[in-house]
Amino acid sequence: MAKAEYRILTAAISIFKPRALAVETVEPSTIEEAMSTSEWRATAQAEYDALIHNSTWEQVPYHLIARSSGASGYSK
Mean pLDDT, residues 1-13 taken together = 58
Out of 15-19, 23-27, 47-51, 61-65, pick the least confident. Answer: 15-19
At residue 58, φ and ψ (nearest 5 deg) are -125, 150
Contact 40, 34 (CB under 8 A): yes
pLDDT at 46 over 70: yes
Q: How far apart are CA 59 and CA 49, in angstroms?
A: 12
Contact 31, 37 (CB under 8 A): no
- If one compares 55 and 22, the residue with the highest pLDDT of the two is 55
Q: How far apart are CA 56 and CA 58, in angstroms?
A: 7
pLDDT at 16 over 70: no
pTM: 0.44
- If one compares 52 and 19, the residue with the highest pLDDT of the two is 52
Q: Can you say whether the dihedral through the CA atoms of 38, 39, 43, 44 is positive or negative?
A: negative
| Domain layout of the chain by residue ranges | 36-76
